[in-house]
Amino acid sequence: MEVILSFINKILYPVILMFTILPQLSSAQDEGANHTFSDINLENKKIIANLSIADLVEEVSPSVVNITVSYIPDSPQATGYGSGFIISANKEVVTNFHLVDNVDKIEIELNDGKIYPATILGTDEETDLALLQLQTDFTLPYLSLPKNTKNRVGEWVFAIGNPYGMGQSVSLGVISAIGRARENGGSYIDYIQTDASINKGNSGGPLINLKGEVIGVNSAIYSPTGANIGIAFVIPLKVVKNVITGIRDYGRMKRGYIGVILKTEKFQVEGESPNYSLNSLYGATIKKIIPKSPSYSFGLKEGDIILDINGSTIRDATQATRLIGALKPNELIDIIIRRRNKTYKFKVMIGERPSKSTLESFND
């Protein structure tokens, strides 16, 4: 017995003491650290202990709906399914444009199994969003859209939707990236990327943070196989709210338009060394001008480089498109362009942007 006690005192106790003190010493030596390792571990345990996705799902899911649509005759498919969520006491439902485009009939199923018809209040093809009106006199729960959300990469989020028409399901993940672009995603969205499982049928459903706040609308996935591989794209809340406001006010999203197809192009100021990067400027080059458009009428030409719009310096074609889109139709604006190594200032009257499909036909 004495031998064992001696061993503990001489060998084990110093080892235990060393492993207890070293992390604290290491933390104290790191002037940039705000916590000791033991504090961080304690905080993590508190987070895990207080985290209950089930409670949040129970609170949120009654406002999330399954949507079934019947398409008009001669459509490529007869029926479709997706997701959405109720956002107001007026029983407005947010979903994706691609789900309700060319539909003949829309039915909305609540998570309690009750089914109601719905009509379209307005759509926005550019952002793949639609606002529906659920037809019922019953009072229904809804998700209030927060004024603002601060999204961070690594933040836990969950999605609720109707994958493959199986019925309401929940998937958990994190925000993988912010400010993503995707092919054919349009010029008006910097997508949130998540690895929460999103599949066919999840489109139009909400992505929700651990405060129970809607941070976006699930829209698309990247997948060579068509199935979820952990890369999904979500329309951010700010875009969703802007489109909803436009539809409520006008029945559609109004955007400014000058009738140009743009490309980003770097150019060199004449007379300066090409190696002097500070004089290598960016702008939005006019690739094509639409006939009878504002740009055509006010004297802009193909090859002109847009440098400034109403006092805002232009970096690339996407920024120019968004700035123009945010302007009001019939507003007279200043555009500074570079043409044949000379700078000119034009006054241009803003028009209203046509539909995405109309613009694509011009581009073709």
* HEC profile of the chain: CHHHHHHHHHHHHHHHHHHHHHHHHHHHHCCCCCCCHHHHHHHHHHHHHHCCHHHHHHHHHHHEEEEEEEECCCCCCCEEEEEEEECCCCCEEEECHHHHCCEEEEEEECCCCCEEEEEEEEEECCCCEEEEEECCCCCCCCCCCCCCCCCCCCCEEEEEECHHHCCCEEEEEEEEEEEECCCCCCCCCCEEEECCCCCCCCCCCEEEECCCCEEEEEEEECCCCCCCCCCEEEEEHHHHHHHHHHHHHHCCCCCEECCEEEEEEEEECCCCCCCCHHHEEEEEEEEEECCCCHHHHCCCCCCCEEEEECCEECCCHHHHHHHHHHCCCCCEEEEEEEECCEEEEEEEECEECCCHHHHHHHHC
| Tens-place pLDDT, residues 28-79 | 333 433 433 344 444 444 444 455 788 999 999 999 999 999 999 888 888 9
Mean pLDDT of all residues belonging to the chain: 83
For the whole model, what pTM was predicted? 0.79
Q: Does domain 156-250 have CATH number 2.40.10.10?
A: yes
Quick one: fold of 57-134?
Thrombin, subunit H (2.40.10)
Read off the pLDDT band of 127 (50, 70, 90): very high
Q: Phi/psi zone of residue 144: left (φ > 0), alpha (ψ -120 to 50 degrees), beta?
A: beta
Amino acid at 118: A
Which pLDDT value is given to residue 271? 52
Task: Check whether 323 has a pLDDT greater than 70.
Answer: yes
Q: What is the arithmetic mean of pLDDT over 173-178?
A: 94
Distance, CA of 181 to CA of 234 (rounded, Å): 11
Catalytic annotation, residues: 98, 128, 203
pLDDT average, residue stretch 209-216: 93
The residues, ordered by sequence, that sit 6+ positions from 97 with a Cβ below 8 Å of its Cβ are: 123, 124, 125, 127, 128, 129, 130
Give pLDDT, residue 158.
95
* Over residues 329-353, mean pLDDT: 92
Residues of the chain with CATH 2.30.42.10: 256-363
Query: What's the Cα-to-Cα distance from 19 to each of 4, 14, 24, 30, 39, rounded to whole Å?
Result: 21, 9, 9, 18, 16
pLDDT over 60 at 22, yes or no: no
The fold of 256-363 is Pdz3 Domain (2.30.42)
Bigger pLDDT: 279 vs 126: 126
Q: Which residues of the chain are in CATH 2.40.10.10 domains?
A: 57-134, 156-250
Rounded to a whole number of angstroms, the CA Rg of the chain reads 27
User: 141: burial class by Cβ within 10 Å (0-12, 13-18, 19+)?
Assistant: middle
The 10s digit of each residue's pLDDT in 248-283 is 999 999 999 999 999 887 765 555 444 434 444 678
